[in-house]
Amino acid sequence: MNIIKNHIVKNIFSKAILMMLLLSFSCWISANNLVVKSPNDKIIVGVFNSNNTENGKWFLNVKFNNNGKITEAISKIDLGLILSEGVSFDEMKLIKTSKPLLIKENYVMPHGKSSQRHNEGNEVVFTFENKEKKKLNIIVRVYNDGIAFRYSLSEKGNFTVQDELTSYLIDPETTRWTEKWNPANEGLYASMVSDKIQQEEWCYPALFQTKDNCWFLLHESAVDGTYCGSKLSNKSDKNQYKITFPDPKDGRGKGEALPKITLPWKSPWRAIIIGNLNDIVASTLVDDVAPPSVIKNMDWIKPGAVSWNYWSSNHGTKDFKTVCEFADLALAMDWPYTLLDWEWDSMGNGGKLEDALKYIHSKGIKPLMWYNSGGDHTWVSSTPKDRMLTHENRVAEFTKLKKLGVAGVKVDFFESEKQEMIQYYIDILEDASQFEMMVYFHGCLVPRGWSRTYPNLMTYEAVRGAEWYNNGPEFTTTGPVHNTILPFTRNVVGSMDYTPVTFTNSQFPHLTSYGHELALSVLFESALQHFADRPEGYYELPDEPKKFLREVPTSWDKTILLQGFPGKDVVMARNKSMNWYIGGINGENTEKTLKIKLDFLDKNKKYKLRVIKDGKHDKKLVTDDSVVGSTDSVDVKLLRRGGFVAVISPL
């Protein structure tokens, strides 16, 4: 009996101590105004001193209100910079906190996951002073769907940034989906937790799920020529993901790995999307914190589908007749564009470039053309190599392309995210915009919000896409699962040219069903969607899926995740004008039936629902039509590695 009493007393005492600590913590926060909340109160960011004293190391703590339950998303985000000349913002003193500023924006995007963009956030600027009395501002914004923070130095001077101390401490019980660092950002995502966590350098974006089911995605935005691109590394501590600068060997060792800054200066935004999985998928935070568009008239920026010959014939553009066949395909499928990939300057078998362009235009199709990024940063010698490399070369080439009626360029092989390479990307976008030329980056970095500033940037590769069916047998088995992870990771942060929807085989086969492949046209957002199959792959489809591919948009008004989990399956609905398009895939090796709720539809309206789904085997598609409303749901059976699409149009 005494043992029980002692146990009860100890419990009461422990709870009392905990309450006192929480109360003192709460008073400390409010007294120092070191907390920033989102306008909807769902995300709370606290600013702390590690020593709990006036001077010391500072960090952020991120909490999430998950339907009334407060959960800790990230326990500690270390802050600080180490500059040349012995300037260190490591041990600092907080000297000033600004009043909260409400950030509220509405803007329009001509392409992407949503057309009308709205964001709300609260901004607080924390001013710190180091031992040398130099000041560092840390700007913290807490939006309804995540947080963003950046460093700002307002004094004068020139420095090299020796290190950025930003790092994210992640609980070992938090599951993570991360891609091992590679300059082209074309790896596979691996899922790991606890003792399975690997220690590597990692690409952006990185996805995390806490044991309390709070999701967050780590990324960066508004990277420009005043800084380099960064990556994440947990090599020193498996649960500490530190921002790391480019490897000096990247880009054949050309360019400086450490960024050089001229003050006044602001760093890129460190962006964290936070919420449930739908919040992650629908978020436009990476664009929201990027600078507004520098292009006033965007009427010439036209998203659309593209026919592309490289997947089925790696040297297709060398062959005039192949180029003409893919122009014919674009015409037959009502796609506005065809891409002339590498080797267009070596074209033969009946015609040269000018003949091909003349034929393409005669069909009412607009050509896009490939370029090597050039320079010593790439080993690839494929021509034309240097026509994008300097301002003078770009002006000459864009002038020529404009006269030839070319609508845009694909620029390849960047191989580095060093500061001078970041500036090179932006110089291409700036010059292309002056000639109303659309741009597609290939062999490149992951999106950093540039499409908001330069909406002529239509898409990026930076993904292990269908091209990998050419590179070896591995993607045959890894592709189905990989496809279910991309909507929650890479494609969240910007357009992704996976080059999807292939029904025939390339050099190595795929195991995905026709329904799975068809669904990728909806699941994978890319303003220029390069449909990669050979002409007969599309011509031999039944009428219903063929009609679907003629009409499926490549830019969207709204995006909603209906259900899914990375690595298992995903179902997404995207809206364009009056119609909804749904794509769903199964990444697993077992059949399953998914119940799709239609409660996102307008109430008191009836709709025509057309579902195109797996049939009895992988190469069979069947179509069902019905009338539905917002209170209805539909069961869809998916084959192993299968999929489906649906179109919902108002009656």
Give the angle 494-452-270 at the CA atoms, nearest 5°: 65
Which residue type does 458 have?
A: M
pLDDT at 196 over 80: yes
d(CA 625, CA 612): 9
Q: Residue 11 above 80 pLDDT?
A: no
Q: What is the pLDDT of residue 33?
A: 55
205 upstream amide cis, omega within 30 of 0? yes
pLDDT range class, residue 26, cuts 50, 70, 90: very low
Contact status, residue 517 vs residue 545, Cβ threshold 8 Å: no
Cα(446)–Cα(463) distance, integer angstroms: 8
Give the residues across from 105 on adjacent strands: 119
Look at strands 35-37 and 260-266 and give their pairing: unpaired
Give the residue-averaged pLDDT of 274-278. Answer: 97
Encode pLDDT of 211-260 as tens digits: 999 999 999 999 999 999 999 999 999 999 999 999 999 999 999 999 99
pLDDT in tens, 444-493: 999 999 999 999 999 999 999 999 999 999 999 999 999 999 999 999 99
- Return phi, psi of residue 608, to 5°: -90, 125
Q: Are 112 and 284 in contact (CB under 8 A)?
A: yes
Contact 601, 629 (CB under 8 A): yes
Statement: residue 14 has pLDDT above 60: no
Mean pLDDT of 428-456: 98
Residue type, 395: V
* Rounded (5°) CA angle 442-119-143: 95
pLDDT at 16 over 60: no
Distance of alpha carbon 436 from alpha carbon 299, whole angstroms: 10
Say how many residues make up the chain.
651
User: Is the pLDDT score of 411 beyond 70?
Assistant: yes
pLDDT in tens, 139-167: 999 999 999 999 999 999 999 999 999 99
SS3 for 395? helix
- For the sheet containing 43-49, what is the strand order? 35-37, 43-49, 58-66, 69-78, 167-169, 240-244, 231-233, 201-202
For the record, the structure tokens of 629 come out as 């409303």
C-alpha distances in Å from residue 401, one per residue of 301, 316, 340, 433, 628: 16, 21, 13, 13, 49
Percentage of residues of the chain with pLDDT beyond 70 = 95
Secondary structure tally for the chain: helices H, strands E: 12, 37
Confidence grade of residue 52 (pLDDT, cut at 50, 70, 90): confident
The single-letter DSSP state of residue 599 is T
Give every CB contact of residue 456 below 8 A, 6+ residues apart in sequence.
295, 301, 408, 429, 432, 433, 436, 437, 438, 439
Q: What is the pTM of this model?
A: 0.94
Q: What percent of the chain has pLDDT over 90?
A: 93
- pLDDT at res. 22: 38
The per-residue pLDDT for range 551-589, each reduced to its tens digit, is 999 999 999 999 999 999 999 999 999 999 999 999 999
In whole numbers, what is the pLDDT of the chain averaged over residues?
A: 94
Extract the tokens encoding 376: 């010593």
Quick check: 100 pLDDT over 70? yes
Rg (CA), the chain: 26
Q: Which residue has the higher pLDDT, 26 or 430?
A: 430
Model confidence at 54: pLDDT above 90: no
Average pLDDT over residues 390-405: 98
Query: What is the separation of C-alpha 464 from the centre of its chain, rounded to a whole number of angstroms?
Result: 13
SS3 assignment, position 273: strand
What is residue 67's predicted lDDT score, i.e. its pLDDT?
86
Q: What is the dihedral of CA 541, 545, 549, 552, to 10 degrees?
A: 180
CA–CA distance, 263 with 565 (Å, rounded to integer): 44
